Amino acid sequence: MDWKIQLWMWNYNYGPLVYLSLLFYMLWNISLNLLAFLVLPLIVFQVYQIMPRRQASGANKYNAIVVGSGIAGLCSAVKLQEIGVHFTVLEKGKHLGGTWWWNTYPGAACDVRSHLYCISFFPNPWWSRAYAKGPEIHQYLKDFATYFNLHPHIKYNQKVSRCKWNPELFKWDVTTDDGSVYTANFVISACGQLHAPKMPTYKGLESFNGPKFHNTQWDHSVDLTGKRVGVLGTGASGVQVVPQLAKQVDQLYVFQRTATWVVPKFDPETSYWKLAIFSLLPITMTLYRWVLFWQSEMRFPLMLKPDSPKAKMIGQNIAGHHAHVLKDPEMIRKLTPTYNVGCKRITPSSFYLESFAKPNVYVETGKIAEVTCDGITTENGHTQLDAIIFATGFDRLRSMNAFEVIGQDPKINLCQAWGEAPQAYMGLFMSGYPNYFTISGPNTSTAHNSVIFSLECQTTHAVNYIAQMVQSELKSLDIKPEVTADHMGKIRARTPLHVFSTCVNEAYQNAQGVLWPMWPYSMVYLWWRSMECDLSLFDVK
């Protein structure tokens, strides 16, 4: 492992204790005893922070399967490691990293500030810029796995196809595509909601003669230089890939169904002085991260009041930005949304809108009628293309139902139980599926803050219950149906107040308009709820 990571983590974990102890010693020596005593609680708190979590007695008798080696899977692995439960991580790909291994399209980057988009107990003072790019995030996750010695526990090319509960052994049998079977007391599904590409079903799609692929399955063998390329989709990935293609292709046609709100992306490279300060004084980076967190958290009240004067003013400002960049009235009309700001994810970019000022970039807003062998036909006419790229996002429901899960009732699997509107207590627990935990499950996504904070809350919540089971020598834990019903009733009553419910949004709503992926409260409230560990909510054995 890179020596500087070990040195940094030592400084991060023990540096504050050293500094506070020196401060206490100095204050005591100059007879400022009262101030010295005020420092003592901080020293005690810091000692508590760095103390290793006590492993539950008998933890080595239990084991867990973690499905997926993305951020959620890696966090779950470390939390299980802390309590002493044996674990195996099953990864369908050749490498760890989840989203940041699979998404290698041009321009792939995070749209959350780098110092906020990292795991709280493994911060990175060396982010190269304000918004990290894909390869840098992937390297960060590899360093994370190395530091916590997770590599020996990860099995690659193991795509899970089935999980079946064994009521006699109180264990799960996990089967992979190659026929391997793993048995475990617990299963943590860390597949997430964003890995199954959503492909359009336009008439004639298969007849297109040129290369066509989803942006998350980018074909790097295809050279698009000098080609006529069509991009379908203007969501988060479309906003990132369009500016990169505009530099390379001869003609770029962006087929837009719905415009997206775009704000400027202040993305400077990290200065040397900031790198030095964050590296030498971890407390400064912690404070910076807190500032970023609370800046993001302060947006949440606006998401519940889309018609408030403040929300309308923000909408006018963003619309003004569109007008300032685009200038042409027709382009402003086409590329400025008519729905409330925040109804769909606001995407930061300082190059997307600017791309449409280039002579080789066109936007087509007509409804697509069909795909032909040489292009795309819309209600406005036919566009000849050499290649088509689908930046059409992900199928969240298919992503969560990545494999068959059979619980206590062998006649129904989890996909059937969920239907089109999945339900779970705190996104983690489903009645009838004991000892099974879904990270990034129903109603846990956020659009106003870092998703990593949400994932950490969920992994902590799940492993706290596992630790309690181990400590109490329990065999199974199954959420009571009435507890889930009460929780979901509150969630469903809350979601209509959210700005996401003010427009048709396929990314977050099903056909009936149920807003099932989104957490309708603040991240602070999610953190607070994730601290509970109440076994009375469950049927235990």
Domain range list for the chain: 3-50, 59-196+395-540, 205-261+307-390
CATH classification code of 205-261+307-390: 3.50.50.60
CA distances from 476 to 163, 305, 413, 470 (A): 16, 42, 19, 10
CATH of region 59-196+395-540: 3.50.50.60
**What is the C-alpha to C-alpha distance for residues 80 and 66, in angstroms, rounded to an integer?**
10
pLDDT, tens only, 278-330 = 998 888 998 999 999 999 999 888 888 777 888 889 999 999 999 999 999 99
Mean local confidence (pLDDT), 269-275? 94
Average pLDDT on 172-176 reads 98
21-26 average pLDDT score: 80
Q: What confidence category does residue 216 fall into, taking pLDDT thresholds of 50, 70 and 90?
A: very high
CA 389 – CA 408 distance, rounded (Å): 43
SS3 of 275, please?
helix
pLDDT (0 to 100) of residue 476: 96
If you compute the radius of gyration of the chain from its CA atoms, what whole number of angstroms results? 25
Of 30-34, 243-247, 489-493, least confident by mean pLDDT is 30-34
Closest CA to 84 of 463, 434, 460: 463
First to last CA, the chain: 43
- 214 vs 17, 105, 197, CA distance in Å? 49, 9, 7
Same fold, 59-196+395-540 and 205-261+307-390: yes
Output 114 or 312, whichever has higher pLDDT. Answer: 114
Give the rounded distance of the alpha carbon of 67 from its chain centre.
15
The pTM (predicted TM-score) of the whole model is: 0.94
Query: Which helix or strand (DSSP H or E) is residue 402 part of?
Result: none
- Helix boundaries (H) for 473-533: 481-494, 523-530
The pLDDT assigned to 310 comes to 84
**pLDDT score of 1 more than 70:** no
Mean pLDDT of the chain: 93
Q: What is the mean pLDDT of residues 396-416?
A: 94
Which residues, other chains included, contact 289 with Cβ-Cβ below 8 Å and sequence gap of 6+? 115, 116, 123
Tell me which of 17 and 394 has the higher pLDDT: 394
